[in-house]
Chains A and B, each alone.
Chain A
Amino acid sequence: MRIDISRISKLANLSLSDEEKGKFEKQLDETIEYIDKLKEIDTMTVDPTSQVTGLENITREDEVKPSLPQEKVLSNSKSTHNGLFKVAAILE
C-alpha cells in the first residue's frame, strides 16, 4: 500500500514542504507496514473496540449552565472584530 501524502496533508489541513512530504511519506509507509504485521494476528473472536470504559447511556439533564464571558472566549485569538473571531475570507 502506498501513502498519498499530498491528499493526507490536505485533509489534515497541513502544508508540507517537498522535503517534509518525502520524509513523512516514508514514515507513514513504515507505520502501515507495522500494522500489516499486526494483521497477522487472528482476531476472528475479538470484537472491535472503540470504548474502553464499559459505560453506556451516559447523558445529562437538559439544564442551562453559565457560559464563559465574551472577553474570555475571544482572549486567545489574534484577531477579532466586534465580538467576532476574524479569519481570512473564505471563498464560498
Chain B
Amino acid sequence: MSYKPVIGLEVHVELKTKSKMFCGCSTDYFGKKPNTHVCPTCFGLPGALPTPNKIAIEWCIKIGLSLNCDIPLFSKFDRKNYFYPDLPKGYQISQYDLPFAHNGFVKLKTDENKTIRIRRVHMEEDTGKLIHGIVNGKKASLIDFNRSGVPLVEIVTEPDFESAEQVNEYLQKLQQIIRYLEVSDADMEKGQMRLEPNISLKKSHPEQREEYRDSSSVIRRPQNDIPTYKVEVKNINSFRFVEKAIHYETERQRKILEGGKTPVQETRGWDEKRQITFSQRIKEQEMDYRYFPEADIPPFRWTKSQISRLRSQIPEMPDKKLKRFNDDYSMSGYYSEILTRERKMAEFFEETVKIGKKYNINAKKIANTIINKKIDANSILPAALVQSIIKQSKKTVVDEEELKNIALEVFRKNPKAVDDYKKGKNQVIGFIIGMMKREIKKPVENNQLKEVIENLLKIQ
C-alpha cells in the first residue's frame, strides 16, 4: 500500500501598521525593552475598549483580493477563548464564521498548473511573547506583552498540497505577494511570517483514474480515503524547516500506518537541532475555543464601491508583471523572473528603461547590466545607471563580428582548451578570455567575451 501526503497550511503574517490592532500602542517593538509597548487594551485590563485599526482591516482585505478571494459584504470579530499566559484577556479577538475574505485560490507553476484553494483570510491580534528559562535556579516562563495586539492576518488553505515542494512554491509566492502589497516585510527571522502545516497521509490508488465504471456500469469516483486524523506542526519560521518537517512527518506517519495504526491527532513542534518533530499537546477540539461574537466591536458592512476602491489600490501583482515584462520587453522568462522578484527592482528596471530610451539603450541591455552586475536598486538611481551604461558602451567599441573572428583564431591555436571546455571544464573559459584580451588590446568586458565564446562553442 502506498500513501500520499495531504497537506494544508496556515500562515500568520504580522502587518506593518504603525499602531496595534485595537489600541494606539506602537508596533515597533522588535528589540525594544519588554513591556514598554503596552496599554490597558492590549494588556487585557477590565473595562478597556478595543477599536479596530482601519488600515489593518483594509490591508487584510487587500491580501484577500490578491489571493482571488471573495469579500463578504458583512463581517465581524469573534472571541476565541483559551487560557495561556501569553494571552492576558483569556481570549483572542479573531474572526470565526464571517472572515474578511474567503474562497480564493493561488495557481502554482509546477505540477501542471496546480491550484491551491484559499479557504479564508482573517484578521486577529498577536499574543505576548513567552520566554522559557531558569530564574534563581528554578524553571520559569517569562512574558513580554509588547507583541500583544499587533495586527495579524491568518491565511488558511484547503488541504490541497501533495508535496513539500508545492508548499515551498506557494510560500515563496505568498511572501512575494505580501511584499508587493507592502503590508508586511514578511521577514521570517523576525517572526513576521509564521508557518503551520497540517499533515496527514491518505491511501493512494495509482491504478484508478479519476472516474471508473463498477461491475454494473455505474460511473464512480474513487474512494477518497480522507484521513481521520491531522497532525499540525506549529510556528515554523523558515521555508526550509517546513520542507524538512513535512518530509519527516510523512515518513513518521507512513511507518505508523504501515504498522496498522493511526497516528495521534496532535500538535507537534519542529526541533531543528535533532531534525525531528516532537509532540507538544493533544490538539484541542475546535469547540473548545467556544467562539462567540465580540460584543465590544460593532460589525462591518461594506459597499461594493468600497471593495472596488480597495481593489483599484492593489499594485500590479508578480504574475501579471512577469507576463507583461516578457511581452513588453521581449525578454526570456528567466530575466523577467529575476527582475519581478521584488517590486522595488521591477520599478527600478522600468524607470531605467524609460530614461534609457532617450539614449537609444534598449531594455535588454539594461536588464543584462542589472542582472550581470548585480545592481542594487536601493543604492543607485535609474538615471545614474543609464549614464554608467553609456560610459561603458563607449569603452567597448569592439564589434561582435571582430570578437567572433578573434575567438575562432584563439580556438584554432588552442584546441586542447576547446576540448577541455567541451568535456565540462568550464574554468577553461577564463584562459580563453585571457588569450582574446591579448589580441584585442582594448578595454572590453569579460561578460561580452564570455557570451561570444559560449555562443560559438555551442554551435561547434
Complex contact B298–A81 (CB within 8 A): no
In the assembled complex, B43 has its CB within 8 A of some CB on chain A: yes
B26 surroundings in chain A (CB, below 8 A): 64, 67
In the assembled complex, A87 has its CB within 8 A of some CB on chain B: yes
Q: Which residue of A lies closest to B36 (CB)?
A: A70
Report whether over half of chain A's contact residues are helix, strand or loop; otherwise say mixed: loop
In the assembled complex, A63 has its CB within 8 A of some CB on chain B: yes
| Number of chain B interface residues as a range | 35 or more
In the assembled complex, B139 has its CB within 8 A of some CB on chain A: yes
Task: Check A64/B299 contact, CB under 8 A, given A70-B36, A74-B35, A83-B34.
Answer: no
Those of B85-121 within 8 Å (CB) of chain A: 85, 90
In the assembled complex, B263 has its CB within 8 A of some CB on chain A: no
Name which of A16-24, A34-42, A48-56 contacts chain B.
Answer: A48-56
Q: Which residue of B lies closest to A84 (CB)?
A: B142
In the assembled complex, B72 has its CB within 8 A of some CB on chain A: no
In the assembled complex, A57 has its CB within 8 A of some CB on chain B: yes
B130 surroundings in chain A (CB, below 8 A): 90
B288 surroundings in chain A (CB, below 8 A): 11
B81 surroundings in chain A (CB, below 8 A): 11
Complex contact B35–A85 (CB within 8 A): yes
Task: Check A85/B143 contact, CB under 8 A, given A50-B293, A60-B54.
Answer: yes
B143 surroundings in chain A (CB, below 8 A): 84-87
In the assembled complex, B357 has its CB within 8 A of some CB on chain A: no
Residues 2-17 of chain A, each 1 if its beta carbon lies under 8 Å from chain B, else 0: 0000000001010000
B293 surroundings in chain A (CB, below 8 A): 50-51
Complex contact A63–B142 (CB within 8 A): no
Complex contact A73–B51 (CB within 8 A): no
Give which listed residue, A11, A13, A51, A61, contacts B299 with CB less than 8 A: A51
Complex contact B298–A53 (CB within 8 A): yes
Min C-beta distance of A55 to chain B, whole Å? 4
Q: Can you report 6 residue pairs joining A to B where beta carbons are below 8 Å apart?
A: A11-B81, A50-B292, A62-B17, A68-B39, A86-B141, A90-B132
Please report A residues at the B interface, Cβ cutoff 8 Å: 11, 13, 50-51, 53, 55-70, 73-74, 81-90, 92
Top 9 closest pairs, chain A to chain B, by CB = A65-B24, A50-B293, A89-B139, A59-B54, A84-B142, A55-B298, A62-B55, A13-B83, A85-B143
Please report B residues at the A interface, Cβ cutoff 8 Å: 17-19, 23-26, 33-40, 43, 51-57, 76, 81, 83-85, 90, 130-132, 135, 138-145, 269, 280, 288, 290, 292-293, 295, 297-301
